Structure 1
Amino acid sequence: MHLALNAYFWNQPHTGSGQYTRQLVYHLNRLVSDLDITLIYPQLPGGPEPEGAPPSVRVERVPAGPGHVGKVLFEQRGFPAACRRVGATLAHVPYWGGPLRSPVPLVVTVHDLTTLLVPAYHRDPRARLYNALVSASARGANHVITDSLASKRDIVEHLGLAEMDVTAIYLGVGPPYTPRRGQSGDANLLEMAIRRKYDLPDFYVLYLGGYEAHKNVITLLHAYTYVARALGEEYPLLLAGRKPAGPSPTFPDYDAVIERSGLARYVRWIGYVDEEDKPFLYRNAEVFVFPSRHEGFGLPPLEAMACGTPVVTSDAGSLPEIVGAAGFAIDPDDPRHMAGAIIALVMQEDLAADLRRQGPLQAAQFTWERTAVETLAVYDQVVSEQGSRGAGERRSGH
């Protein structure tokens, strides 16, 4: 089998789609000896080369333009043309952006339907047009992969696909995300450097993720008005990840909410966190909070659990599937309940210790190896069905 894979997000490993693309390629390449992989990479004028591709994985560069129009042209023209050019037997677009027409059998991964289901994301006419385009492409794909049973239900309901044409395959957590281990002198020095890099306090509650409206960080801030009164300045809330440039229909005005709520002394922005530093931030947090309303999977709470950090998340979308009984999954619209869970985990050591024990056990069920194996099964199914269909057409033509 020769797989052509859309590598639009290859050089963006800090994004969910980029991380998924890389992990899938790395593990398929390592686990499957008879699978040829070609990355179809959009090469912008003067843009960077694809970084970190395994030596045995081929790269087909496709000239591409910048911006949204360039992305759409790559998805709809450049990618399918390259699939034909390299002689692929199967194409996979690892995000919701497949072509309307594909010269080879097509698999599309739709991580979630957030941009379709959240009104703030489709007020712009261009966004509505793109949603219509990628919805049509998903309906025309041979098979759709998604990250959870919750997302599968959304896809079946809102895109009208048959259940048999959608497969839920969970994502995984990488080896660096483990509980604290014995510390060497070098490790201690590294941790001290990370503490200085982000100016970390001795104790903190952590949020790490995006700041779009559906991430529901505003409710977390409202919850923290109760937490601050109970715990004081000794347990600040750290907001990790790129801070929005300013308020918009997609991004709330966080600074205004922090100011109005009297949280300026209790909330700290620490900015973008390098991938290699994330395990340390998780391990040293008293609690990790992830209050999202719409999530196709939810890698951050999984990573936090794998590090042995107690997790408070919402009971929306896929998050209860991921956390199971190893964390608090609460109503995303209930800041008092959210605050109560945070306070309980800080104050009740036996409760926190129980979740520190359960978290890594729950996270161990989610591996990138399993993601790759189950994805390969979908590839085999699609190629087999296409072969049977082709043989039937040839027989009927005689």
Structure 2
Amino acid sequence: MTQTIYINGRFLTHPVTGVQRYGLELIQALDDLSSRKAEGFEHYEFIVLTPKVELPALNLSVIRIKQVGALKGHLWEQLELPVHAFRHLLLNPCNTAPLFKRKQAVTLHDAAVYAVPDTYSRLFRLWYKIMFPALGLLSQQILTCSTFSKDQLIRYCGIPSSKMRVIPHGREHVLRAAADHEVLKKHGLDKPFVLAVSSMSPNKNFGSIVKAIQHLNVENVDFVIAGGSNPKLFQEQGELPDSVKYLGYVEEEELRALYEHAACFVFPSFYEGFGFPPLEAMTCGCPVIASHTASIPEVCGEAAIYCDPYDWRDIASKIQRVLEDPDLQDQMRARGFEQSSKFSWERCAKETFAAITADPRTHEIPINNASRSETG
């Protein structure tokens, strides 16, 4: 007899950031495993429930998308989603879920609203600080992406450790897009360059990158900031050298090419539940300089050179060290390939499936799922 697992697809109505990337890749990997009838999957079907709005094309083989209800947003998720999921298991991949459904698993990616509250609006903080402890108390299982995030969620939300399972994300998404090397010509990147991926969040600590750039003693090197950056944010730090180039938003194909050609990638973030960018950079063969804080050492292992995000002088020192040592760059590329190979979306999907189909009373994985647990 086939059992149905519903997936909360509300995230499909949002722009794609790291959390939405996880949801998309998890569904694609579950679909692939289901279509191949991987061990245990032949006994289950997955159905994604979404509001009745326009959705991106997912190109799924066997997982169905079912648009239900008359509401949208939080009201749809809290009032209509649990009705349509009814007595079935509901998997919520992107931080939010109906508060009063017990037969569900929820992926909480971090505890940033507690640890770095200034990153979020007051209303956003209030809602998440209500929701996270409630979900931790009432839901059958809580998944998260790093041991760091697990410890943070236990600390701030009081979620029992016995309810939690750490399942790292994957990395193959960055390799699906063919590298568009024209981005180098378009922006005149004909010299070695240091790459950073920007956002508006102060948590990303790009002010320290700017200070490090201003005090580096290197010549014939460009500094590239890609992503949704606002030049005014950096200009507030003072006069910048002409070697700093803002590319703004870049397509996935362009980002892959930047990773592949950069002398190194700098990621001095203060707080990350997982941290996709350094994993993507390592996957593309780019040496990584990253913060020694939060979950980042879990992701980068021994492949990265670590810096103190609170000390721009240390960031500058680490950048200079890598730029001046081509042999070190080669060693870091090799270690990065090895480290990033430990992460895959198939593994993430298998471990998620094993976790959510385990006995909710004991969290023991059934015999027919046992082989999947060996990947953890």
Q: Which residue of 1 aligns with 2:58?
A: 52
- Structure 1 unpaired stretches of 5+: 179-186, 247-252, 388-398
Q: Which amino acid in the other structure matches residue 218 of structure 2?
A: L
TM-superposition CA deviations, 1:271-327 (whole Å, max 9, x none): 112123322110100110111111011111011111111100001110011111111
Contact 1:109 1:145 in 2 (8 A): yes
CA RMSD in angstroms, aligned pairs only? 2.5
Q: Which residue of 2 aligns with 1:98?
A: 97
Matched, 1:273 2:262: no
> Residue 30 of structure 1: which of 11, 25, 32 is its match?
32
Q: What secondary structure sits across from 2:50 in the alignment?
A: strand
Distance, in Å, in 1 between the alignment partners of 2:17 and 2:139 is: 24
Range that drifts further, 375-384 or 190-199: 190-199
Distance, in Å, in 1 between the alignment partners of 2:343 and 2:94 is: 20
Cα distance change on mapping 1:271 and 1:123 into 2, 3 Å: closer
> Residue 21 of structure 1: which of 5, 12, 23 is its match?
23
- Structure 2 unpaired stretches of 5+: 365-376
Q: What secondary structure sits across from 1:273 in the alignment?
A: coil
Matched, 1:159 2:157: yes
Q: Which residue of 2 aligns with 1:392?
A: none
Distance, in Å, in 1 between the alignment partners of 2:231 and 2:111 is: 25
TM-superposition CA deviations, 1:144-190 (whole Å, max 9, x none): 11110000110111111111111111111106549xxxxxxxx9xx7
Distance, in Å, in 2 between the alignment partners of 1:319 and 1:370 is: 20
Matched, 1:41 2:62: no
Cα distance change on mapping 1:22 and 1:119 into 2, 3 Å: closer
Q: What secondary structure sits across from 2:68 in the alignment?
A: strand
Taking the TM superposition and a 5 Å limit, the aligned residue runs for 1:1-398 are: 1-10=3-12, 14-32=16-34, 33=37, 34=42, 35-44=44-53, 48-63=54-69, 70-84=72-86, 89-102=88-101, 105-121=103-119, 124-125=122-123, 127-174=125-172, 176-177=174-175, 191-227=180-216, 230-232=217-219, 234-244=220-230, 253-257=233-237, 260=238, 262-382=239-359
The Cα shift of 1:266 comes to 2.9
Distance, in Å, in 2 between the alignment partners of 1:155 and 1:99 is: 18
Q: Which amino acid in the other structure matches residue 314 of structure 2?
A: H
Contact 1:116 1:122 in 2 (8 A): no
Distance, in Å, in 1 between the alignment partners of 2:69 and 2:153 is: 32
Q: Number of residues paired by the alignment?
A: 354
Distance, in Å, in 1 between the alignment partners of 2:168 and 2:339 is: 13
The Cα shift of 1:126 comes to 5.1
Q: Which amino acid in the other structure matches residue 256 of structure 1?
A: E
Cα distance change on mapping 1:125 and 1:211 into 2, 3 Å: closer
Contact 1:98 1:138 in 2 (8 A): no
Given the two structures, how large is their TM-score scaled by the length of structure 1? Answer: 0.82
Contact 1:305 1:356 in 2 (8 A): yes
Distance, in Å, in 2 between the alignment partners of 1:386 and 1:374 is: 13
The Cα shift of 1:364 comes to 0.4
The Cα shift of 1:255 comes to 2.6
